[in-house]
Amino acid sequence: MEILIQLVIIILAAKIAGYIATRFGQPSVLGEIIVGILIGPAIFGLIDNKDEFLHTFSELGVIFLMFFAGLETNLKDLTASLKSALSVASFGVMLPLIGGYIVGIGFGMDPSHALFLGIVLTATSVSISVQTFRELGQMNTRESATVLGAAIADDIIGLILLAIVMSLTVGGDTSISLVLIKQVIFFAVIIVCNWKVVPAISNTIDKFKVPDLSMVFAVILCFTYAYFADYMGISNIIGAFFAGLSLANDKHREQFEDKLSPTVSVIFIPVFFVSIGLSVTFSGIGEHIWLIVVLCIVSVITKIIGGGFGAKITGYNMMSSTLIGTAMVSRGEVALITSNIGYSAGLFSQEYFTPMIIAIVFTTVITPPLLKICINKKDQKEAAAKQAHAVH
């Protein structure tokens, strides 16, 4: 029953740290990630980051988080932002890929290891930005829709790149064509289900006098989509997002937000954010301190410039472009998963693994405060413009 004590420590520490972060004017997610570093192996060692049950618990947290992100997303806004999202994703992948490869070569890595480092840096963990958007009431903005669309495209591009590199370097059963076919099948099935199946089931739920049946349906749909995405080689959080999106205009939506959201926000989601901090370890960082510093800088700058440029050329002003690029900075769980896959396949050496993990967590920690600064500046600029318009 030790896991229960660990959950008590994590949830309590997350809430205290989140409260402290908000008192300093920062999103609570920042405090939750930092406290994970404190109670994990890096500092006090109170929590074992290798516990399988804890890993599952945190995975449920990010699945629910992305489900509610889909629930709060306007499909019309997401569709309208498709061109910008693809542009942001393309440049947001290109620059980090090149930057990571150059850094790897510059620090003496093998070309294949340097290329894999670049692929890890292409990842985007939209869950961090989503939580920040939610806390600041920005989920229904055009910028957030673009970021969500770009992150999905980013994940798909990254998966294809990983498949290409693995097939060229370590061989095995990784087939690029199979990866593409699975992705096409996934999206085709999801489109049909969201168009016909989900609405039909939702409309018949009220005929059955079963308490909270709509809640049960929502949870089952979320888990089914997440499993299907994972089975098809796509991140389970994309499946969860589309499950939420399918219910965004559902008549039971308020029930999901009123009953399911509070429980998830108290128990599962904090465990996920704390678990990101738990992955940090400082063993042997003294030998690679300059690699860590350069990686952190390159990781942040390439995403802001790449994603921002992609937004700018599709019609966003400089302020919104910078906001979108900043929202793409966090690598989070997506990069952690990718790095572990590459490490297990021999695409990366143990010597450089810790610096890469620290750089990933750094991008995750720095995204919420940077994003809040961008959102505040955007809001101030819009308020000033409205005031000037009212005067005239």
The structure tokens 């900043």 sit at: 326
- CA-based nearest residue to 311, from 62, 142, 180, 104: 142
* SS3 at position 130: helix
Is pLDDT at 1 greater than 70 in this prediction?
A: no
pLDDT of residue 377: 92
Residue 389, CA atoms < 13 Å, CB-side half-sphere: 6
Most confident option among 42-51, 84-93, 165-174:
84-93
pLDDT of residue 35: 96
Tell me which DSSP letter residue 194 carries. I
**What mean pLDDT is reported for the chain?**
90
Is pLDDT at 384 greater than 90 in this prediction?
A: no
> 126 CB contacts (<8 Å, ≥6 apart)?
66, 69, 147, 148, 151, 152, 237, 327, 330
User: What confidence tens digit (pLDDT) does each residue in 22-53 have?
Assistant: 999 899 999 999 999 999 998 999 998 778 88
pLDDT of residue 392: 61
The pTM score is 0.89
> 24 CB contacts (<8 Å, ≥6 apart)?
none
Is pLDDT at 172 greater than 60 in this prediction?
A: no
Domains and CATH numbers, the chain: 2-391 (1.20.1530.20)
Query: Residue 344 — pLDDT band, cuts 50, 70, 90?
Result: confident
> 359 CB contacts (<8 Å, ≥6 apart)?
292, 295, 296, 299, 331
- Percent with pLDDT over 70 in the chain: 97
pLDDT of residue 260: 86
pLDDT of residue 381: 87
- Percent with pLDDT over 90 in the chain: 59
The structure tokens 């570093």 sit at: 37
Average pLDDT of the segment spanning 139-166: 88
Query: Residue 197 — pLDDT band, cuts 50, 70, 90?
Result: very high
Greater model confidence, 17 or 347: 17
Average pLDDT of the segment spanning 54-58: 91
Average pLDDT of the segment spanning 364-389: 89
pLDDT of residue 171: 56
What letter represents residue 121's amino acid? L
